[in-house]
Amino acid sequence: MSPSTEPRQFPCKQCGASLVFAPGTHSLKCPHCGTLNEIAADATPIEEIDFQTQLQQLSDKQDTHEAVVVHCDGCGAESTLPPNTAAGSCPFCGRPIVATAQVKTLIKPRSLLPFAIDRGKATPQFASWLGGLWFAPSSLKSAAESGKLVGVYLPAWTYDSQTTSDYTGSRGDHCWVTETYTETVNNQTVTRTRQVQHTRWSPASGVVDVPFDDVLVLADQSLPDKIRRKLEGWDLPALVPYNDDYLSGFVAETYQVNLPNGFEVAKQIMDGTIRSAVCRDIGGDEQRIDSLSTHYAAITFKHILLPVWISAYRFGGQTYHFVINGRTGRVFGERPYSAVKITVAILLALLLLLIVVLVVSAMKG
């Protein structure tokens, strides 16, 4: 029988009101009476799942669950909404969305990083970032503040793999060769010598073995690449077993990069490390790789959720994002520039320079 697609409710043990997860703790907190409701400890180890076995189970619809998601027509994000919420704003582009039911069969997340930064800490960081923007349009602050911070769990895959790579290439060893040359000195032709660096190339081939652990691939496609690239440095050893309680009061985006496509992205990430290992194996002062064939074995993965605070605001017909890492508090943002303010600043600088030139000229005269 399929699991229920209805969002879970978390009633307070003291007053019965709906609870929300309190970042930085392992408790749900009642927004009405303040009572903390501890999340039951789970000693289940964080398990690496066999990649090939999971692909087979996907075709059999095993080890999956059904989730009700909402789709944003503006940016394509697919996420959940809190219980009893019929409408809201997309956390990734700020456009309004309506919770029209759409059931999807998805791989279950097995672990997550809970929020460690709460809204009380995230909001001042947002305000501080806004206050430090130079040459921002005057109306930006009000436009940005209209898009409140939303706590979102981003989907991600981590992959482990043993790799064996066969390669062919060339090894370049630097050597110094004495060359004779002539030059004219005082109308006389003089013969001189100099040392010139040359590179002697020789064929190379071999096999390198490189293990990989927890290669992280974000499984959303809603944030711009430049923001996604900065969301690194997650403390993955702090992962906890998945529990719906940690999602209470937050939005959870569903993955848009599926398991096999995520591994293709992971291969691209691994490729740089493998090529560096090949170059070390070739040795010498320079290396060329002519062919490279990699076999991936013992592939395992985890489906995890990562916490971020997001504000998406629209300005001048474009969407800008402000993101806070929900674990470290690191801040990333996009911003527009005011062409008027930049032009005025340049004109003022030129005017100041002209005044300085005139004053110096007057003093010399």
The residue among 347 and 208 whose pLDDT is bigger is 208
Question: Domain total for the chain?
Answer: 1
- What confidence tier does 342 reach under pLDDT thresholds 50, 70, 90? low
pLDDT at residue 136 greater than cutoff 80: no
pLDDT mean over 93-100: 64
pLDDT mean over 51-62: 74
pLDDT mean over 253-257: 88
The residue among 49 and 348 whose pLDDT is bigger is 49
The residue among 59 and 11 whose pLDDT is bigger is 11
Question: How many Cα atoms occupy the beta-carbon half-sphere of 312 within 13 Å?
Answer: 23
* Whole-angstrom distance, CA of residue 18 vs CA of residue 33: 11
Q: Which of 7-21, 159-173, 242-256 is most confident?
A: 159-173
Report yes or no on 360 lying in a domain.
Answer: no
In percent, how much of the chain has pLDDT > 70? Answer: 80
Burial environment of residue 71 by CB neighbours within 10 A (0 to 12, 13 to 18, 19 or more):
middle
The per-residue pLDDT for 27 is 84
* Whole-angstrom distance, CA of residue 86 vs CA of residue 98: 6
The per-residue pLDDT for 114 is 94
Report yes or no on 175 lying in a domain.
Answer: no
Report yes or no on 299 lying in a domain.
Answer: yes
Report yes or no on 1 lying in a domain.
Answer: no
* Strand order across the 27-29 sheet: 20-21, 27-29, 36-38
Report yes or no on 12 lying in a domain.
Answer: no
Region of poorest pLDDT, from 4-18, 48-62, 124-138, 287-301: 4-18
Rounded alpha-carbon distances, angstroms, from residue 74 to 104, 145, 241: 20, 20, 33
Report yes or no on 132 lying in a domain.
Answer: yes
- What confidence tier does 85 reach under pLDDT thresholds 50, 70, 90? very low
pLDDT mean over 30-47: 81
Full residue range of the structural domain in which residue 246 is found: 20-168+203-334
* Whole-angstrom distance, CA of residue 313 vs CA of residue 122: 16
Report yes or no on 347 lying in a domain.
Answer: no
Residue 274, φ and ψ in degrees, nearest 5: -65, -45
The residue among 286 and 362 whose pLDDT is bigger is 286
Q: Which of 164-168, 179-183, 244-248, 332-336 is most confident?
A: 164-168
Residues contacting residue 287 through CB under 8 Å, at least 6 positions apart: 169, 170, 171, 172, 204, 278, 279
Report yes or no on 311 lying in a domain.
Answer: yes
The per-residue pLDDT for 97 is 66
End-to-end CA distance of the chain: 96
* Whole-angstrom distance, CA of residue 299 vs CA of residue 162: 7
* Whole-angstrom distance, CA of residue 311 vs CA of residue 318: 14
pLDDT at residue 6 greater than cutoff 50: no
